[in-house]
Structure 1
Amino acid sequence: MSSQLVSTRQRLINAAIELFAVQGVTETTTRQIAELAKVNEVTLFRNFGNKHGLLLAVISESPVFKDLGESLRQQANQTSSFYEALKGYASARLQALEQVPDLVLSVVGEARHYPVENRQALGKYLTQANYYVAEYLATVMEREQLNSDISAEKLASLLNSLLLGYAVIEFTSEFHELWHDRDEFLENLIELFLNNFTHSTSLIKTESISTHQVADLPANLVHLILQQAKKSGLQDYALMYVLFGAGLSPAEIVNLERSHQISDANQHLLQITQGSTRQVPVNQWIMGKRYGSYSRNPLTQWLNSRKDERSAMFLNDDGMPISEAEIQERWQELTEGFSTPEEQQPVIEQAQQTWCIEMLMKGIQLEDLSILTGWDFTKLQPYARRTREKLALEQALRLDQKS
Structure 2
Amino acid sequence: MQTQSTSDRIIDATIELTSKKGYKAATTKAIAELAGVNEVTIFRHFGNKRGILKAVIQRFSYGPLLQKIIKEKVIWDLETDLYNFSKEYQDYLMSIKDFVLIGFKEANAFPEIDEEIANIPLFIKKELIDYLCEMKKRGKLAEVNVEATVMSLIALNFGFFISRARLGLNVTQLSTEALLTTSIGIFSRGLAP
TM-score, normalisation: structure 2: 0.77
TM-superposition CA deviations, 1:321-378 (whole Å, max 9, x none): xxxxxxxxxxxxxxxxxxxxxxxxxxxxxxxxxxxxxxxxxxxxxxxxxxxxxxxxxx
What is the identity, as a one-letter code, of the residue corresponding to 1:154? A
> Is the CA contact (8 Å cut-off) linking 1:133 and 1:156 kept in structure 2?
yes
Given the alignment of the two structures, is residue 34 of structure 1 paired with residue 32 of structure 2, yes or no?
Answer: yes
CA shift for structure 1 position 65: 3.1
Give secondary structure in 2 for the equivalent of 1:113: coil
Q: Which residue in 1 is equivalent to 2:148?
A: 154
Quickly say closer, same or farther: Cα 1:182–1:124, change in 2 above 3 A: closer
Give secondary structure in 2 for the equivalent of 1:164: helix
What is the identity, as a one-letter code, of the residue corresponding to 1:82? L
What is the identity, as a one-letter code, of the residue corresponding to 2:180? L
What is the identity, as a one-letter code, of the residue corresponding to 2:53? L
Distance 1:113 1:10 in 2: 26
Quickly say closer, same or farther: Cα 1:24–1:69, change in 2 above 3 A: farther
CA shift for structure 1 position 205: 3.5
TM-superposition CA deviations, 1:38-75 (whole Å, max 9, x none): 2234543562522x542221222557534643542333
Q: 133, 136, 159: which is aligned to 1:138?
A: 133
What is the identity, as a one-letter code, of the residue corresponding to 1:110? E
Distance 1:134 1:127 in 2: 10
TM-superposition CA deviations, 1:225-265 (whole Å, max 9, x none): xxxxxxxxxxxxxxxxxxxxxxxxxxxxxxxxxxxxxxxxx
Quickly say closer, same or farther: Cα 1:71–1:37, change in 2 above 3 A: farther
Q: Which residue in 2 is equivalent to 1:92?
A: 88
- Unaligned 5+ segments in structure 1 are 198-203, 207-403
What is the identity, as a one-letter code, of the residue corresponding to 2:102? S
> Is the CA contact (8 Å cut-off) linking 1:130 and 1:157 kept in structure 2?
yes
Distance 1:150 1:63 in 2: 26
> Is the CA contact (8 Å cut-off) linking 1:73 and 1:136 kept in structure 2?
no
> Is the CA contact (8 Å cut-off) linking 1:98 and 1:167 kept in structure 2?
yes
Higher relative CO (Cα under 8 Å, sequence separation at least 6) belongs to: 2
Quickly say closer, same or farther: Cα 1:64–1:33, change in 2 above 3 A: farther
CA shift for structure 1 position 194: 2.1
Q: Which residue in 1 is equivalent to 2:166?
A: 172
Q: Which residue in 1 is equivalent to 2:97?
A: 101
Distance 1:94 1:101 in 2: 10
Distance 1:24 1:142 in 2: 50
Kindly report the root-mean-square deviation, in angstroms, between the aligned alpha carbons of the 2 structures.
3.3
> Is the CA contact (8 Å cut-off) linking 1:12 and 1:37 kept in structure 2?
yes
Identity %: 23
Distance 2:183 2:168 in 1: 20
> Is the CA contact (8 Å cut-off) linking 1:20 and 1:102 kept in structure 2?
no
> Is the CA contact (8 Å cut-off) linking 1:130 and 1:156 kept in structure 2?
yes
What is the identity, as a one-letter code, of the residue corresponding to 2:63? F
What is the identity, as a one-letter code, of the residue corresponding to 1:99? S
Q: Detail structure 1 runs of 4+ shifted over 4 Å in the superposition.
A: 20-28, 61-64
> Is the CA contact (8 Å cut-off) linking 1:34 and 1:44 kept in structure 2?
yes
Quickly say closer, same or farther: Cα 1:184–1:63, change in 2 above 3 A: closer
CA shift for structure 1 position 104: 0.8
Q: Which residue in 2 is equivalent to 1:49?
A: 48
* Greater C-alpha radius of gyration: 1
Give secondary structure in 2 for the equivalent of 1:148: coil
Q: 180, 184, 191: which is aligned to 1:186?
A: 180
CA shift for structure 1 position 115: 3.9
Q: Which residue in 2 is equivalent to 1:349?
A: none
Map 1:203-222; keep pairs closer than 5 Å. Answer: 204-206=191-193
Quickly say closer, same or farther: Cα 1:172–1:63, change in 2 above 3 A: closer
What is the identity, as a one-letter code, of the residue corresponding to 1:180? L
Quickly say closer, same or farther: Cα 1:9–1:97, change in 2 above 3 A: same
Given the alignment of the two structures, is residue 129 of structure 1 paired with residue 124 of structure 2, yes or no?
Answer: yes
What is the identity, as a one-letter code, of the residue corresponding to 1:126? P
Q: Which residue in 1 is equivalent to 2:109?
A: 113
TM-score, normalisation: structure 1: 0.41
TM-superposition CA deviations, 1:281-334 (whole Å, max 9, x none): xxxxxxxxxxxxxxxxxxxxxxxxxxxxxxxxxxxxxxxxxxxxxxxxxxxxxx
> Is the CA contact (8 Å cut-off) linking 1:87 and 1:190 kept in structure 2?
yes
Distance 1:173 1:67 in 2: 26
